[in-house]
Amino acid sequence: MEYRQLGRSGLKVSTMTMGTMTFGGEGGFANVGNTDVDEARRLIDVCLERGVNLIDTADVYSQGTSEQIVGEAVKGRRDDVLLATKVRMPMGDGPNDAGLSREHIVRGCEDSLRRLGVDHIDLYQVHAWDGVTPLEETLEALDTLVRKGKIRYIGCSNYSAWHLMKALGVSALTETQRFVSQQIHYTLQAREAEYELVPATIDQGLGILVWSPLAGGLLSGKFRRGQDAPETSRHLTEWDEPPVRDREKLYDIVEVAVEIGEAHGVSAAQVSLAWLLAKPGVTSLVVGARNADQLTDNLAAAELELTADEVARLDEVSAPPLLYPYWHQRKTASDRLSPADRTLLG
């Protein structure tokens, strides 16, 4: 297992992160999985044996049950893992039970610590944008929690590039803790992050954690043109993340991944994950699984090296259109591109 530095922090994390959205299986999360404590221990055993050192969860996953299961599963081995969780989503019906206000962040952190059964959270992430609460309030609350020792590092998730840059600017002006990472959706099937989020990461020195790097199983190799989707697919339920806007292009991507996988004797899932790990700015992939076999296969992608030609084939079949102003920049500004610019235009 390779370990990469998380942004400008001194923290090193494994290129694979254990995702726990499947833990609990309550409410709408039953469409994703229903892993109990015993199975969670087995899955975490598999991760630790293969060098994974980061476990990612969120308060909203099964309304806190995921955090509780993680806490039970890591008892006696807390020092072997880094714990990441998130705050922002609704955790009740009250007017202050969601968002990134000081009230919700501080209460959310205390609740997460209690459910996890730990005295600190290693990476505390804001789960989504809150356009109502001033960023100064959000960042000051996070800064206070860091200074009190309740969290070690902070990150954001699902921000747009201007949200991210505004937050970094406010941190600089107010001398409060700075985000060290962003957790985003980025796959062969959905490469929108390459327009601005990836360049911003390179330019500003953040780390990237990728959620649902197999696009909810769409890139597992089980979704093929002319074949029925697996009965266990979450996309046959009300779960619609990520959306599929071009089904024929998805099938084309999967066919190339399957072909490359067959050449290596590995799954299309491993190929899709290995492609991501080779992309600029990517620190770690958050992989979940319903069982140990699936998890073992996904983690093996950390050892797969694709050739330059294979990466180029995958790049070509999955390439997003070059939107404005990027096509204009390629045409008129290609003589003076920064390393961040070249992640898209190089």
**pLDDT (average), residues 146-153:** 98
H-helix or E-strand spanning residue 185: strand 181-185
**Residue 189, token pair as written in the block:** 């099937």
Q: 19 forms bridges with which residues in the sheet?
A: 56
Catalytic machinery residues: 61
d(CA 24, CA 61): 8
pLDDT the model gives residue 35: 93
pLDDT the model gives residue 315: 98
More confident site: 243 or 2: 2
Q: Quick one: CA dihedral 134, 136, 139, 142, positive or negative?
A: negative
For residue 152, pLDDT over 80 is answered with: yes
pLDDT the model gives residue 27: 85
**pLDDT (average), residues 144-173:** 98
**Residue 201, token pair as written in the block:** 């990461």
Amino acid symbol at 273 = L
**Residue 208, token pair as written in the block:** 């990237």
Left (φ > 0), alpha (ψ -120 to 50) or beta: where does 117 sit?
Answer: left
Question: What is the percent of the chain with per-residue pLDDT over 90, rounded to a whole number?
Answer: 89
More confident site: 278 or 346: 278
Q: Please write the tens of the pLDDT for every residue from 253-302.
A: 999 999 999 999 999 999 999 999 999 999 999 999 889 999 999 999 99
Which class for 139: exposed (0-12), middle (13-18), buried (19 or more C-beta within 10 A)? buried
Q: Please write the tens of the pLDDT for every residue from 31-74.
A: 888 899 999 999 999 999 999 999 999 999 999 999 999 999 99
Q: Are strands 121-126 and 181-185 parallel, antiparallel or unpaired?
A: unpaired
Q: Please write the tens of the pLDDT for every residue from 160-218.
A: 999 999 999 999 999 999 999 999 999 999 999 999 999 999 999 999 999 999 999 99
Residue 252 neighbours by CB distance under 10 Å: 14
Helix, strand or coil, per DSSP, at residue 308: helix
What pLDDT band is residue 236 in, cutting at 50, 70 and 90? Answer: very low
H-helix or E-strand spanning residue 84: strand 82-87
pLDDT the model gives residue 178: 98
Q: Please write the tens of the pLDDT for every residue from 73-84.
A: 999 999 999 999
d(CA 252, CA 234): 21
pLDDT the model gives residue 242: 85
**Tokens 């929108």 found at:** 192
H-helix or E-strand spanning residue 205: none
pLDDT the model gives residue 226: 77
For residue 238, pLDDT over 90 is answered with: no
pLDDT the model gives residue 150: 98
pLDDT the model gives residue 234: 53
Residue 263 neighbours by CB distance under 10 Å: 12
Average pLDDT of the chain to the nearest whole number: 95
